[in-house]
Amino acid sequence: MTLTTKAIRIDQHGGADQLKLVELPVGEPGPGEIRIRHKAIGLNFIDIYQRSGLYPQKMPLSLGMEGAGVVEAVGEGVTHLRAGDRAAYASAPPGSYCELRVMPAKTVCKLPDAISFETGAAMMLKGLTVQYLLKKTLPQGGLQAGDFVLFHAAAGGVGLIACQWARALGLQLIGTAGSDAKCALAKANGAAHVINYGTEDFAARVKEITGGEGVKVVYDSIGKDTFDKSLECLRTFGLLASFGNASGAVPPFAPAILAPKSLYLTRATLFAHMTTRENTQAMADDLFAVVESGAVQIHIDQRYPLAEVQQAHQDMEARKTTGCSILTL
């Protein structure tokens, strides 16, 4: 009997109206693959970048980069998973917006029993992003307890995890957000200081908070609208870690703008850190541990049925969401 799945697919780049619910066949897993039946699916800004064409993809495209569910079958050579395992992942290629899929097993991890499917789906891409940022994407000399860092979009899914994890590491995270309510949310989740970038000059406030010195590192997922002022916030030898383009891509610039303070710049990506199963598992183990300890709680503030994915994308693009958003099945 041929298996089928309801899935969300686009046939061309464009707006949220391109997202269509379709029925697709699902085969057997090949070597190095698994078949997983989702219980919940994560929503992320990278999905919007791929849908819109900011990150061009081949068509037709099934979207979605993270999910959690139960492994139904494993292909040849897969030894870390077996049928019946609870599992979660953040993974390329995209395709998690569905009930059932066959996918590479390399970045799929067993989900601890203490972590729900919804939490697993919501936290993998965002939580692993925070893990590689705070643990691996570091300024000269690294980060020590008491150091100031600036984190944009601090009330979003990635941001709220970062606020909590930074607090657990003893860092003084300065979080920016677009409203007083979002600033209060970031503060409640561990941000040492918050800045409403809609009403305040965040570069000036950062200088004030740090006694004029600036921060060691800025973690910036906003892109075009914050790039220049993010550079202003850095101390000498500071690092700007650009890891997203929520406001659009950063335009070309002359490297000489980094010279006055000998600044460092990286365009960081999660999947560069997940090239082996061992690396992926080590990162996931770190994430699972901090969540199971209670130091980081995963806030799922929006839930949408799979068929309402257009509304989910519209809400994310309109900055109407906080914390994590998931698709339910």
At 298, the amino acid letter reads I
Q: Pick from 109, 151, 154: which is nearest to 128 by CA?
A: 109
Is residue 149 located within the same domain as residue 254? yes
Task: Please say which residue of 243, 267, 291 terminates a domain.
Answer: 267
Task: State how far the alpha carbon of 125 is from the alpha carbons of 60, 65, 87, in Å.
Answer: 23, 7, 14
Distance between CA atoms of residues 242 and 17, nearest Å: 29
**In terms of domains, do 94 and 208 share one?**
no
Query: Would 226 be classed as within a structural domain?
Result: yes
Distance CA 329, CA 6 (A): 10
d(CA 221, CA 235): 19
Range of the domain at 187: 138-267
Q: What is the DSSP string of 135-200?
A: HHS--TT---TT-EEEESSTTBHHHHHHHHHHHHTT-EEEEEESSHHHHHHHHHTT-SEEEETTTS
- For residues 114 and 172, membership in a common domain is answered with no
CA gyration radius for the chain? 20
Are 277 and 251 part of one and the same domain?
no
Residues 301, 253, single domain; the answer is no
- What's the rounded Cα separation, in Å, for the pair 174 and 132? 18
Q: Say if residue 303 is in the same domain as residue 254.
A: no
Q: 3-state class of 73 per DSSP?
A: strand
Domain final position from 217, 248, 267: 267
Instruction: Return d(Cα 140, Cα 132) in angstroms, integer.
Output: 16
State the DSSP H helix or E strand holding residue 21, giving kind and residue range, or none if neither: strand 20-26
Q: Does 132 map to a domain?
A: no
9 inside domain: yes
Whether 158 and 176 share a structural domain: yes
- Contact between residue 153 and residue 242 where contact means Cβ atoms under 8 Å apart: no
Task: Name beta bridge partners: 42.
Answer: 326
Residues 10 and 120 occupy one common structural domain: yes
- Please state the domain count of the chain: 2
In a domain, 133, yes or no: no
Residue 86 included in any domain:
yes
3-state secondary structure of 321: coil
Provide the phi-psi class of 84: left if phi over 0, else alpha when psi is between -120 and 50, else beta.
left
SS3 304: strand
170 and 252, same domain (yes or no): yes
Question: The domain that contains 74 carries what CATH number?
Answer: 3.90.180.10
In a domain, 107, yes or no: yes
Are 47 and 63 in the same domain?
Answer: yes
Query: Which of these three, 267, 288, 315, is where a domain ends?
Result: 267
Residue 1: what pLDDT? Answer: 64
Mean pLDDT, 10 residues at a time, the chain of 329 residues: 92 98 97 98 95 94 97 98 98 95 97 98 97 98 98 96 98 97 97 97 98 98 96 98 92 96 97 95 98 97 97 95 94
In a domain, 142, yes or no: yes
CATH number at residue 146: 3.40.50.720
State whether 198 and 145 are in the same domain.
yes
Q: Is residue 131 assigned to a domain?
A: no
Let me know whether 227 and 259 are in one domain. Answer: yes
pTM beyond 0.85: the answer is: yes
**What is the DSSP secondary-structure string of 76-137?**
TT--S--TT-EEEEE-SSP--SBSEEEEESTTEEEPPTTS-HHHHHHHHHHHHHHHHHHHHS
